[in-house]
Amino acid sequence: MNVQPQSPQFLKVVFRGRLEFGSQRTYDMVLKHWNYRVENYFHADVLFNAEDVFTEEDYALTVPKQALMSTQKRWRSTTALLYEIAQFALAGNVGAWWVQNGKVLDEHIIEPTSDKTAVVEFLRGRELVQQGGMKQASEALTNSIEKYAKNALAYERRGYVNYKLQNYNDAHYDFSKSIVISDHNPEPFYGRGKVYMLRSDWENAINDFQDTIERSLAVQPIYWLARMRKADCLFHAKRYAEALPDLKFFLQRNFTENDPNFALRSKAEFLKAECERLSK
């Protein structure tokens, strides 16, 4: 009896991100490493072709947000190669998610962890942010930026620090600078949107929260935070009917207690009731 081989199981995977290499020399080294590893080790098991993600004019690897179907082997090989490549980078990261039925089964945030000063200071600054040492974090992130001026993630984190320190003009500058360097990340749009909210600049805030939504995934808390913030801004702008779809969508989602969106459900219910009343 002939037994037919089983076809590989396909997964839905999502990638998004950018890695900055900073110079022609490093870029050439990285591209050579990628091609060698694909030719001699990974073969056809990598989801991206070099010509689709490498850009010589800015010495970077860029993966726009995209969903792909992949086998487990190709998923593992692609993330493994990206981890190798990331160690040549001065800044940036690539997110990779394996998603099934709205749940994340596997997740990677692939970033440089080398001993380059720009990398070390960024990681130190980010850790200090998590510990609440905002002033020290700002100094470390500034050091990272001074070593590599195109560090979009360092500008975004410093923007967050300035927001927490109530330096709102500086926060706006940092978030905007991060966006100018790389407009693939949702976080600086979200941060700048919150600054616009403080200024009651509802239209610009709405636009930034919409950009956040478009650059994030429904499995990420920031996606739902941006939907809620956008609806809040639409309410303040008296665009009640436009706010309702985001509020209804938000309230259909089941958030765990450790999700920052969990505490916003009562506010969403209030805004929904008010929008329904005022849009009649």
**What single string gives the DSSP state of each residue in 67-132?**
EEEEEHHHHHHHHHHHHHHHTT-SEEEEEEEEEETTEEEEEEEE---SS-HHHHHHHHHHHHHHHT
Average per-residue pLDDT for the chain: 94
Pseudo-torsion of CA 221, 130, 63, 113, nearest 10°?
A: -150
Q: What is the pLDDT of residue 1?
A: 39
Domain 115-179 identical in fold to domain 185-280? yes
When the candidates are 1.10.510.10, 1.25.40.10, 3.30.750.200, 1.10.1270.20, the CATH number that belongs to 115-179 is 1.25.40.10
* Residue 253: count of CB within 10 angstroms of its CB: 16
Domain layout of the chain by residue ranges: 10-110, 115-179, 185-280
Portion of the chain with pLDDT greater than 70, in percent = 97
Per residue in 177-200, pLDDT tens? 999 999 999 999 999 999 999 999
Above 70 in pLDDT, residue 214? yes
Q: 185-280: CATH homologous superfamily?
A: Tetratricopeptide repeat domain (1.25.40.10)
Above 90 in pLDDT, residue 102? no
- Please report which confidence band the pLDDT of residue 8 belongs to, taking 50, 70 and 90 as the band edges: low
Per residue in 40-60, pLDDT tens? 999 999 999 999 999 999 999
Tell the burial category of 199 from Cβ atoms under 10 Å away from its Cβ (0-12, 13-18, 19+).
exposed
Q: Which pTM value belongs to this model?
A: 0.93
DSSP state letter for 39:
I
C-alpha gyration radius of the chain: 21
